[in-house]
Amino acid sequence: MKYFYILLLCISSIGFAQIPANYYDSAEGLTGYALKTELMNIIANGHNDQGYNALYYGYETTHSDNMNVPGYENDNTVLSYYNENPNGPDPYSYNHHTNKCGNYNSENDCYNREHLVPQSSFNSASPMKNDIHHVVPSDGYVNGQRGSFPFGTVGNATWTSLNGSKKGSSNVPGYSGTVFEPIDEFKGDIARAILYFVTRYQNNVDNYTSFQMFNGTNDQALESWAVDMLLDWHYNVDPVDAREIARNHAAYNFQGNANPFVDHPEYANMIWNPTPDTEAPSNPTNLIASNPTDNSITLSWTPSNDNVAVASYDVFRDGVFAFSTSENSTTAYGLSAETEYCFTVRAKDTSGNTSGFSNEACETTTNNGSVGGGTECISESFENIPDNASGYSIRTWTGDDGGTWTATDARTDQTLSNRAITIREGALTMPTTTGGIGSLTVTTLRVFSGGSGTFNVNVNGVLVGTIPFSGSEQTTTISNINIENNVSVVIDGNSNGDRVIFDDLSYTCYAPMNVEEFNIETVKLHPNPTKGSLTIGLKSSKDTNIEIYDILGKPVFRTLISKTSTIDLQNLKSGIYIVKITQNNSTITKKLVKQ
């Protein structure tokens, strides 16, 4: 039987059969397992099983990289949870209907269809086998590595994919076996797919106990450890975003039913956690600002307490959100010399409850002549890399500054000034830092046979320069990168098999530029709070990038303006957002409240 589908070049509401406005009306007022049963009735009605072969055609609209999301390629390739890199170039990609498995021996051989709930648990029966809400495109080799293992968070990894998904021993409270952990970007997608499955197939799920996340009941369906973890992934790690909403509409268009936990995220707590944690952490106390330099100030405070656990702390600078940290001490970088800054801190628990603010602590930066981000934000000698190994694999270690470094397709037995990391066709990923980046310096040397070439330097997924290498040792500095706030730096892009040593790598902090008529006082947002439209007032007529992020750092809006402009934010949910406004290399942030 042949299947004919229209290939939509952009996932949008145009051309889609929309989920009816009254789709969930019959669930109104229900909670607990009565709500789950009614949702089962809703999503079973209209579910049109398209068959297993049709999934590849459905992926053209449900799993295409074409949402124009920051960090993604927007190239219409297959969007797979195990090879997408939201913070830089993908390690590899597939075009739809090309390189379908087949045999495979390694990543990037072919792609196939992964059942997030393994087929073995339901004996490959339909419609479960063909349900696009939980059967997703996957690299064949990674799919094989995942096998039928439950999802979880990994303590000690025994295998890691090129995008950072990994397999290993569980550190999930309540489960001690082997688990598979996707990257944070897709944990919520996978959690909602499993919640969908146990709801859609509620009448049979008690028989699917070979999958270790299931507990053999129809109502709760999931082991208690799995419930706790999936709700955390759903609400805290990776909440619903615009990309997934579009995917859910496309899935409805494909097979006639929707995932209720995408349309109504609150349903998950109403079913599995009807009395959720609503207790906020205690306020952080004794905030101290100290050790000023020309562009940094150290902060420390007494930790908060919580009835469950404190997950992170939000640091505010002069009343505006600056960054988050999981520790009760940190350093604020990217500051101007001889300037007073005032800080406050608040705590956030694992359920997203926030405390009140700490006391305010102020400090003035020094003026010792540092310019151009002259203070080092990161410096790495590679002395802490794993023991000498000549094989090429994933290497992870704690760097000189205490952060986690990762190198893929790398060996650790070659030396330059002393110990060093050698990378073939992999990537070097540095820990995220909060002080921005001014310039980067590193020493390279190609070893063994080969030629000369370059590696790419990507900051927050954007190419900012290249690092040359050859058979002669050379030190390269990429100047004037000048990116503010949190930065994630990745070096990659060598595809010719040359083996290159990296040593003595460092980058300086960002030092803000003095841009006339562009500062926190001259840029106005009004009305704020807003119910829909927002006017951004500029004094200059330069091109200005506007980016809006939710409180968890997920991008929700992006546009370019060149003068005072009004933008429509009707589709944003009520809540607190951060508006990032960038002219040239200068960026400011402001808080926005959407009513």
209 in the same domain as 99: yes
Spatial distance between the Cα atoms of 113 and 143, rounded to a whole number of angstroms: 8
Contact 466, 428 (CB under 8 A): no
290 in the same domain as 141: no
Q: For position 375, what pLDDT does the model report?
A: 58
Q: What pTM value is reported for the model?
A: 0.53
Q: What is the CATH number of the domain that holds 491?
A: 2.60.120.260
Spatial distance between the Cα atoms of 269 and 276, rounded to a whole number of angstroms: 7
Contact 26, 39 (CB under 8 A): no
114 in the same domain as 256: yes
Contact 107, 141 (CB under 8 A): yes
Residue 168 lies in a domain: yes
Domain boundary pick from 448, 479, 508:
508
178 in the same domain as 105: yes
Ordered per-residue pLDDT tens for the chain, 595 residues: 222 222 333 333 333 457 888 999 999 999 999 999 999 999 999 999 999 999 999 999 999 998 777 678 888 999 999 999 887 788 999 999 999 998 899 999 999 999 999 999 999 999 999 999 999 999 999 999 999 999 999 988 899 999 999 999 999 989 999 999 999 999 999 999 999 999 999 999 999 989 999 999 999 999 999 999 999 899 888 999 888 998 999 999 999 999 999 999 999 999 998 777 788 999 999 999 998 887 778 899 999 998 877 878 888 988 888 777 778 888 886 677 788 899 999 998 867 789 999 999 999 988 775 433 445 678 899 999 988 888 888 888 888 877 789 999 899 999 987 899 999 989 999 988 877 888 899 999 999 988 899 999 998 888 888 899 999 999 998 887 888 777 889 999 887 889 999 999 999 887 654 444 566 556 778 887 888 888 888 776 677 888 887 766 677 888 888 777 888 888 888 877 778 888 766 677 777 888 7
Q: For position 374, what pLDDT does the model report?
A: 45
242 in the same domain as 112: yes
Spatial distance between the Cα atoms of 469 and 261, rounded to a whole number of angstroms: 49
Spatial distance between the Cα atoms of 554 and 86, rounded to a whole number of angstroms: 11
79 in the same domain as 185: yes
Contact 397, 380 (CB under 8 A): no
542 in the same domain as 493: no
Q: For position 593, what pLDDT does the model report?
A: 80
Spatial distance between the Cα atoms of 103 and 111, rounded to a whole number of angstroms: 10
Q: What is the CATH number of the domain that holds 340?
A: 2.60.40.10
Placement of tokens 């927007």 in the chain: 74
Q: For position 588, what pLDDT does the model report?
A: 76
Tally of CA atoms within 13 A in the half-sphere of 59 that contains its CB: 28
Domain boundary pick from 237, 272, 307:
272
Tally of CA atoms within 13 A in the half-sphere of 356 that contains its CB: 6
Q: Count up the domains in the chain and report the number.
A: 4
302 in the same domain as 226: no
127 in the same domain as 48: yes
Tally of CA atoms within 13 A in the half-sphere of 371 that contains its CB: 3
For residue 418, what are the domain limits? 376-508
128 in the same domain as 186: yes
88 in the same domain as 144: yes
Residue 20 lies in a domain: no
480 in the same domain as 380: yes
Q: What is the CATH number of the domain that holds 574?
A: 2.60.40.3080
